[in-house]
Chains A and B, each alone.
Chain A
Amino acid sequence: MERENSYVSPNVDLEDGWGDEGSYEQSMERQASVQSAGIGGAGVEKEEVDKNGFIVQKLENIEKTQWRIVRETNETLGLTDDQSIILLRAFKWNTEKFQDKWLSTDNHSKLLIEQGLEFDQKIAKSFPYVNATLKSANQGYCQICYSQFNSTNAKADSLKCGHEFCSGDWTDYLSARVNQGFQFCISTTCPQHQCNMAVPHSMFVKYLTGADLKTYQKWFCKSYTDDNKKVRWCPFAGCDYCVIYKDGGIMEVNCKCGNSFCFKCGQESHKPSDCDNTKQWNLKNSAESENITWIMANTKDCPKCNKPIEKNQGCNHMTCRLCRHEFCWLCTGDWKEHGSATGGYYQCNKYDAAKKSGDQTILSKEKKIDDAKNELKKYMFYFERFNNHHKAEKHAKELLPVIQNKILMLHDVKNYPVGELNFLEEAINQVVRCRQVLKYTYVHGYYIKNEMELNLFQSMQEMLEKFCEHLHELIEKPLDPYLDPNIIERTPFYRYRDEQFARGR
């Protein structure tokens, strides 16, 4: 395959590639220089698999993995970069499935035509004008900008289909597609109407520059990560790390951005609650359903116009503000039927009588309201505590830089060895972790049906809560007293530390 541009693809087997902190451009430059030195075989990779069996990587490293797969496919099947990329994408980056398909069929051109890698003669036949705008037929004019091809700035270029356009128009066209978004970018075809030739990777790299090229690289990577079940982006805002699942059963990822999330569902870490319950809970927190429960618990519908009414004061004689209908709050019957006969104007013995006699309609209505009220109470109980831990977790996270600063100060002012101060950071991290777990214990608890299980769970929850609160309290204590340079005695500080150790563990 001919390469006209110095940067086509990053090489995969870089010796110093991993853990590189350099900027994207720098790494691109470096990749380009390695590229020009020639392509070697796939080398041995250094992968940092964390204790949970995940590899947390930056965007450019993901790209390297992606290119390794492309290269391997090239070597096995004798394809070019462009062909492998488009075909692999069609098979959702499932190399085995693609190779099986490729090796089990002789009709490769059918596969290539389907993916827009070969020109489909059938289309040219059924849409004659697809052929009519080839260079020979369009009198030497570019079909996009209408300048003549042999004029100064219009160098013609085309895909395999032969539909030629000026290089400047290619740039404009591809830039427009890239900026329209991911879906548009990866489905880009030849600008000729009805021509289904796919625009390959090399074409984008050839004509795009600067921000457009960067955006393209992003989409290119996304085409790999989004279709791949073993890859997931960190869901936290502003984090561009990507996580590859290697093996092992733990689905919890500690991302390098400091947050942790569940690999299975992509939500924030939610141990001990499971994915489904957590999802349901989050939905509950955000959805209208709770409003509806409240409305059910605290309002009755006007019997005439069916608008919900909340009774916040006054007697049982209700007058609907909307339709002026007068009714009794207790039995929702017409007020006209109420009077001395029903036990006085402000009493409703109809209601009591119905209740006594066991009128099913009234009783079932009552039960519904009671259930809703209880459900709402239960939910409010759990939500309040969930929210409380959520806020505490946030505060603890905010405390981390403060503590780190204090560690430095204690080291500078009082000459404590750094090793002896690390417990402070450990403690704050422990608090964050505990808060996170505690937060989701309330989700878990909310969905527990078995009473015995619930009792056991609650006592454990209580214990964790107690220790966590204590540790949190200790870590929030001002460290300033220990910073006084005039006091040389270190015992109080060590006592403080030992207390933390004793409580925190």
Chain B
Amino acid sequence: MQYSSAVVTPRIMKETKLLLEKTPPGVRVTVSEENPRHFLFDIQGPPGSFYEAGIFKVEIFLPSDYPMSPPKALFRTKVFHPNIDKVGRICLDILKQDKWTPALLIEKVVLSIQWLLGAPNLDDPLDTSVADVFKASPEHAEKTAREWVQLYAK
């Protein structure tokens, strides 16, 4: 079976259908009208975390060889988090080629991103300056994170 960017494969159709019908809790999904391989998610910050009151926009794009290659995901909302950088790139293992497997789903990616918001990984930071704040003074980090939620994620 040859996958191409123009074609929506049965897998993508099935996944889209599943996403629209059984959207996971705390998530809203919109499929781009121009490109069925382009998704926009509104992800609610996990309860109990610094980000609990915020709604974060995350863009997901399926490359032409999906699911052999991982989807590309990007935060469209500014967020103060050690594993998400200024332009919204995300440092998450399953989004990397060596940890991604074709049996994973867009849904799993979205849930992992939501989980990442609640569990910042300080050992593998993407934005070291943010990680330094998290390490040096968790109170300060919490304050900034909550401020950013108020400023950008409402």
Chain A residues near B (Cβ < 8 Å): 133, 141, 143-147, 163, 165, 168-169, 172-173, 176, 180, 183-184, 187, 189-193
Contact = CB atoms under 8 A, between A and B. Distances in A.
A288 B11 CA distance: 53
B10 interface: yes
B67 A147 contact: no
A146 B10 contact: yes
Given A144-B11, A169-B102, A172-B102, 7 more contacts: A144-B67, A144-B103, A147-B10, A169-B1, A173-B102, A193-B104, A193-B108
Contacts, number: 49
Interface of B is mostly: loop
B94 A193 contact: yes
Nearest to B104: A193
A191 B3 CA distance: 17
A193 B112 CA distance: 13
Contacts of B102: 143-144, 169, 172-173, 191
Interface in B65-120: 65, 67-69, 94, 97-98, 101-104, 108
Contacts of B98: 183-184, 187
B116 to A, nearest CB: 16
Contacts of B10: 145-147
Contact of B97 (A173, A184, A191): A184
Contacts of B69: 176
Contact of A133 (B15, B97, B103): B103
Contact of B1 (A168, A176, A189): A168
Given A176-B65, A176-B68, A193-B94, A145 B103 contact: no
B14 interface: yes
Contacts of A163: 103
Nearest to B105: A143
A117 to B, nearest CB: 19
Contacts of A173: 68, 102
B11 A146 contact: yes
B13 to A, nearest CB: 8
Interface residues on B, range: 20 to 34
A187 B100 CA distance: 13
Contacts of A172: 1, 3, 68, 102
B128 to A, nearest CB: 26
Contacts of B11: 144-146
Contacts of A141: 14
A193 B101 contact: yes
Given A145-B10, A147-B10, A193-B94, A165 B103 contact: yes
Contacts of A193: 94, 101, 103-104, 108
15 contacts: A143-B103, A144-B67, A144-B102, A145-B9, A146-B10, A146-B13, A146-B14, A146-B15, A147-B10, A168-B1, A172-B102, A176-B69, A184-B97, A191-B102, A192-B103
A132 to B, nearest CB: 11
A60 B49 CA distance: 58
B11 to A, nearest CB: 4
A150 B10 CA distance: 16
B52 to A, nearest CB: 26
For B11, B13, B14, B97, the residue with the greatest tally of chain A CB atoms inside 10 Å of its CB is B11
